[in-house]
């Protein structure tokens, strides 16, 4: 069974090299230029905007809303633990937050009764912000901008569809759709080959790496990527 899988995989990977751009070209012809390029362009635009504003927005929302709420929640949690007889930070907190407590200046054996619980909470939350809270909010901001790009695509494709029904415009839209499909197909193929290159660089002795080496098309692409970088 394993031998059959190893023999089949190189052919399947080479088939993907052909299928990925071919699907993009077919979709480009069927859907047309507007349905291919407009959503893609809006997504790229929103990701660029997100790149510029995600970090400042994450810091703003953290300072304005999450810091105080997280500090209050952690204070209540530690107060409850202290009331139950929990003596130290290492006993009260999960391992990850115990590590943050140490980075904030509190050793695992610090007694809760010996220091101010709100002060502990404040410092732990402050330590958690750059390594956990802000990255999570940043990802959420990116997701919001992505959703906005999809919403704009839906709104803008309505008038675009009306224009592309005109005879001459319809044919031009089809031709440009094929061209866009070729370009996007090449990009998708490049991303696929790059991902494969990264995988085999981490797993050079794996069966997958051997299968890639046995391919005709994909191995040529991965070799080109390695030489380029």
User: What is the chain's pLDDT, residue by residue, as a tens digit (229 residues)?
Assistant: 445 556 788 999 999 999 999 999 999 998 888 888 888 889 999 999 999 999 999 999 999 889 999 999 999 998 888 888 888 888 888 777 778 787 777 777 788 877 888 888 898 888 888 888 899 899 999 999 999 999 999 888 888 888 888 888 888 988 999 999 999 899 989 999 999 998 988 888 888 889 999 999 999 999 988 887 6
Residue 88: beta bridge partners?
111
3-state secondary structure of 37: helix
* pLDDT of res. 2: 47
Q: How far, in Å, CA of 62 to CA of 119, rounded?
A: 18
Q: How far, in Å, CA of 135 to CA of 128, rounded?
A: 10
* pLDDT of res. 25: 92
Task: Please give the radius of gyration of the chain, using alpha carbons only, rounded to the nearest integer.
Answer: 27
CA distances from residue 145 to 51, 54, 58, 82, 138 in whole angstroms, order as listed: 10, 9, 13, 42, 11
Q: Which domain holds residue 156?
A: 2-228
* pLDDT of res. 218: 92
* pLDDT of res. 1: 46
CA 168 to mean position of chain CA atoms: 40
* pLDDT of res. 4: 56
The pTM of the full predicted model, rounded to 2 decimals, is 0.65
Short-list 123, 119, 111, 122, CA closest to 82: 111
SS in 3 state form for 165-214? CCHHHHHHHHHHHHHHHHHHHHHHHHHHHHHHHHHHHHCCCCHHHHHHHC
Q: How far, in Å, CA of 220 to CA of 14, rounded?
A: 10
* pLDDT of res. 76: 92
- Count of domains for the chain: 1
């Amino acid at each position: 069974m394993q031998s059959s899988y190893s023999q089949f995989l190189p052919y399947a990977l080479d088939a993907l090299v052909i299928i990925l751009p071919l699907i993009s070209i077919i979709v480009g012809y069927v859907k047309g230029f507007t349905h291919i390029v407009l959503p893609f362009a809006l997504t790229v635009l929103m990701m660029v905007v997100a790149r510029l504003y995600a970090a400042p927005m994450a810091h703003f929302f953290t300072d304005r809303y999450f810091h105080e709420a997280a500090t209050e929640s952690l204070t209540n949690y530690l107060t409850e633990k202290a009331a139950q007889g929990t003596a130290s930070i290492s006993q009260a907190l999960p391992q990850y937050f115990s590590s943050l407590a140490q980075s904030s200046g509190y050793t695992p054996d610090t007694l809760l009764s010996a220091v101010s619980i709100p002060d502990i909470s404040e410092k732990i939350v402050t330590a958690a912000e750059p390594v956990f809270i802000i990255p999570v909010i940043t990802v959420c901001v990116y997701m919001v901008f992505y959703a906005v790009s999809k919403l704009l695509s839906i709104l803008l494709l309505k008038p675009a569809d009306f224009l592309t029904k005109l005879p001459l415009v319809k044919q031009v839209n089809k031709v440009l759709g094929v061209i866009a499909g070729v370009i996007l197909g090449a990009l998708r193929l490049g991303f696929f080959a790059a991902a494969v290159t990264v995988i085999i660089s981490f797993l050079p002795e794996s069966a997958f790496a051997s299968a890639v080496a046995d391919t005709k098309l994909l191995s040529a692409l991965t070799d080109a990527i390695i030489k380029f970088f």
